[in-house]
Chain A
Amino acid sequence: MSDALKSIYNACDPYAPATAEFYCDCAIARGGSALALEFQRHLALANDHIYFLFSGHIGCGKSSELGQLKRSLMHAAPPHACYFPILLNVSDYLDDYDATPTDILLAIVTELADTLRTQANIELTDTYFTKRLNEVKSYFLSDVELNEGELSLGFAKAKIQRLKKDPTARHQVRAVLEPRMSTMLEEINLIFDEARLAIKTRKVGESSRACNDIVVIVDNLEKIRRISGLEEGLSSQRELFLERYTQLASLKAHFIYTVPLRLVRSPDSPQLEQRYGPLFVLPMIKVIERGTRRPYQAGIDSMLGLLGKRLGGLKLDEAFASDALEFLLTYSGGHVRNLMTFVQNACTYADNIPIPLLAAQKAIQQTVRTYSTAIPEEHWEKLARLDRSPDQKIPNGDPDYLVMLENLSVLEYVNGGGDDPFAVAETWYAVNPIVRQLQKFKAAARKLEDDARKPQPATDNSPDQAAP
Chain B
Amino acid sequence: MSDDTIAATADPFSSTALDEETELRALQQALQFSEGFKLIFVRCNQPEHRKRLVEILRTRLPEQNISEVHLTEPVTHLLDALRERLPSSAPDALLVSGLEYSLPVAAEAPTTPFIANLNASRNSFPEVIPYPLVLWIPEYVLNAIILAAPDFFSIRSGVYFFAATPGETMEVADSLTSGAEFTLYDLTHAEKLERIRAIENLLADYEALPADQRDLYAEMRLHLRVGNLLAMLASYDAAESHYQQILTLANELSDRPYKAAALISIGVIYLDKRRFPEAEEAFQKSIEMFYESNNHEYVAYALANLGNLYAALRRWDDAKKAYEQSVEIRHKLGKTVEEGLSLYHLALVLTEQGQLPEAEEVYKQSFDIAREHDIYSLLGANLHGLGFLYKKQGRRSEADRAYQQALNIFRQLDNRKIVPKILHNLALLRIDQGDIESAIDFVKQAVEILKAVGDKQNLAKEHALLETLEKEAKEGHKLSIKQ
Smallest CB gap from A5: residue in B: B33
Q: Which residues of the other chain, B, contact A403 by a CB distance below 8 angstroms?
A: 147
- Give which listed residue, A9, A10, A14, A225, contacts B116 with CB less than 8 A: A225
Q: Are A13 and B147 in contact (CB under 8 A)?
A: no
Q: Give bound CA distance, A140 to B291, whole Å.
A: 73
Q: Give bound CA distance, A388 to B146, whole Å.
A: 26
Smallest CB gap from A98: residue in B: B120
Map CB proximity to A onto B10-40 as digits: 1 under 8 Å, 0 otherwise. Answer: 0011110110001000110110111111110
Interface presence of B156 (CB below 8 A)? yes
Interface presence of B104 (CB below 8 A)? no
Interface presence of B233 (CB below 8 A)? no
Instruction: Using known A-B contacts A6-B32, A348-B30, A373-B204, determine if residue A13 contacts B157 with beta carbons closer than 8 Å.
Output: yes
Instruction: Using known A-B contacts A1-B32, A9-B33, A59-B154, determine if residue A438 contacts B122 with beta carbons closer than 8 Å.
Output: no
Map CB proximity to B onto A1-16 as digits: 1 under 8 Å, 0 otherwise. Answer: 1000110011001110
A404 → B minimal CB distance (Å): 11
Q: Are A372 and B15 in contact (CB under 8 A)?
A: yes
Q: Which residues of the other chain, A, contact B159 by a CB distance below 8 angstroms?
A: 366-367, 369-370
Q: Which residues of the other chain, A, contact B231 by a CB distance below 8 angstroms?
A: none
Q: Give bound CA distance, A373 to B201, whole Å.
A: 12
Q: Are B204 and A438 in contact (CB under 8 A)?
A: no
Map CB proximity to A onto B124-160 as digits: 1 under 8 Å, 0 otherwise. Answer: 0010000000000001001100110011001111111
Smallest CB gap from B13: residue in A: A437
Q: Are A348 and B13 in contact (CB under 8 A)?
A: no
Q: Give bound CA distance, A223 to B62, whole Å.
A: 41
Q: Which residues of the other chain, B, contact A165 by a CB distance below 8 angstroms?
A: 80
Instruction: Using known A-B contacts A337-B154, A373-B15, A374-B147, determine if residue A10 contacts B33 with beta carbons closer than 8 Å.
Output: yes
A379 → B minimal CB distance (Å): 10
Q: Are A223 and B29 in contact (CB under 8 A)?
A: no
Q: Are A349 and B146 in contact (CB under 8 A)?
A: no
Q: Are A366 and B142 in contact (CB under 8 A)?
A: no
Q: Are A368 and B158 in contact (CB under 8 A)?
A: no
Q: Give the total of A residues in contact with B, Cβ under 8 Å.
A: 51
Of the stretches A34-42, A88-96, A152-160, A290-298, the one at the interface is A88-96
Interface residues of A in 77-129 (CB under 8 A from B): 89, 91-92, 95-97
Q: Which residues of the other chain, B, contact A15 by a CB distance below 8 angstroms?
A: 37-39, 126, 155, 157
Q: Give bound CA distance, A452 to B15, whole Å.
A: 29
Instruction: Using known A-B contacts A10-B35, A58-B150, determine if residue A344 contacts B15 with beta carbons closer than 8 Å.
Output: no
Q: Are B158 and A225 in contact (CB under 8 A)?
A: no
Smallest CB gap from A359: residue in B: B26
Interface presence of B119 (CB below 8 A)? yes
Q: Which residues of the other chain, B, contact A439 by a CB distance below 8 angstroms?
A: 13, 15
Q: Are B122 and A91 in contact (CB under 8 A)?
A: yes
Smallest CB gap from A437: residue in B: B13
Interface presence of A364 (CB below 8 A)? yes
Q: Is the interface of A mostly helix, strand, loop or mixed?
A: helix
Q: Which residues of the other chain, A, contact B80 by a CB distance below 8 angstroms?
A: 165
Interface presence of B117 (CB below 8 A)? yes
Instruction: Using known A-B contacts A14-B154, A408-B150, determine if residue A97 contacts B120 with beta carbons closer than 8 Å.
Output: yes
B208 → A minimal CB distance (Å): 8
Q: Are B120 and A6 in contact (CB under 8 A)?
A: no
Q: Give the total of B residues in contact with A, Cβ under 8 Å.
A: 47
Q: Are B143 and A373 in contact (CB under 8 A)?
A: yes
Interface presence of B376 (CB below 8 A)? no
Interface presence of B123 (CB below 8 A)? yes
Interface presence of B161 (CB below 8 A)? yes
- Give which listed residue, A92, A348, A366, contacts B29 with CB less than 8 A: A348
Q: Give bound CA distance, A438 to B161, whole Å.
A: 17
Interface presence of A326 (CB below 8 A)? no
Q: Are A368 and B12 in contact (CB under 8 A)?
A: yes
B163 → A minimal CB distance (Å): 10
Q: Are B146 and A374 in contact (CB under 8 A)?
A: yes
Q: Give bound CA distance, A297 to B32, whole Å.
A: 36
Q: Give bound CA distance, A347 to B151, whole Å.
A: 23
B409 → A minimal CB distance (Å): 39
Q: Are B154 and A344 in contact (CB under 8 A)?
A: no
Q: Give bound CA distance, A373 to B206, whole Å.
A: 13
Most chain B CB within 10 A, of A1, A5, A347, A366, is at: A366
Interface residues of A in 1-56 (CB under 8 A from B): 1, 5-6, 9-10, 13-15
Interface presence of A228 (CB below 8 A)? no
A328 → B minimal CB distance (Å): 11
Smallest CB gap from A372: residue in B: B15
A181 → B minimal CB distance (Å): 24
Q: Which residues of the other chain, B, contact A373 by a CB distance below 8 angstroms?
A: 15, 139, 142-143, 204
Q: Are A365 and B33 in contact (CB under 8 A)?
A: no
Interface residues of A in 195-238 (CB under 8 A from B): 220, 223, 225, 232
Interface presence of A361 (CB below 8 A)? yes
Interface presence of A362 (CB below 8 A)? yes
Interface presence of A407 (CB below 8 A)? yes
A9 → B minimal CB distance (Å): 4
- Give which listed residue, A58, A364, A377, contacts B151 with CB less than 8 A: A58
Q: Are B155 and A92 in contact (CB under 8 A)?
A: no
Interface presence of A432 (CB below 8 A)? no
- Give which listed residue, B26, B35, B43, B117, contacts A349 with CB less than 8 A: B26
Q: Give bound CA distance, A92 to B39, whole Å.
A: 20
Smallest CB gap from A222: residue in B: B151
Q: Please list the 8 inter-chain residue pairs (A to B) with the smallest Cβ-Cβ separation, ordered nearest first.
A: A361-B12, A96-B120, A437-B13, A372-B15, A348-B26, A9-B33, A374-B146, A15-B155
Residues of chain B whose beta carbon lies under 8 Å from any beta carbon of chain A:
12-15, 17-18, 22, 26-27, 29-30, 32-39, 43, 80, 113, 116-117, 119-120, 122-123, 126, 139, 142-143, 146-147, 150-151, 154-161, 204, 208, 241
Residues of chain A whose beta carbon lies under 8 Å from any beta carbon of chain B:
1, 5-6, 9-10, 13-15, 58-59, 89, 91-92, 95-97, 165, 220, 223, 225, 232, 327, 337, 341, 344-345, 347-349, 361-362, 364-370, 372-374, 376-377, 403, 406-408, 434, 437-439
Q: A344-B30, A362-B22, A408-B154 are in contact. List 9 more A-B contacts (CB 8 A).
A: A13-B38, A15-B38, A97-B120, A348-B27, A348-B30, A366-B161, A368-B15, A373-B142, A406-B150
Q: List 8 A-B contacts (CB under 8 A).
A: A9-B34, A13-B157, A96-B119, A225-B119, A225-B120, A362-B22, A366-B159, A369-B208
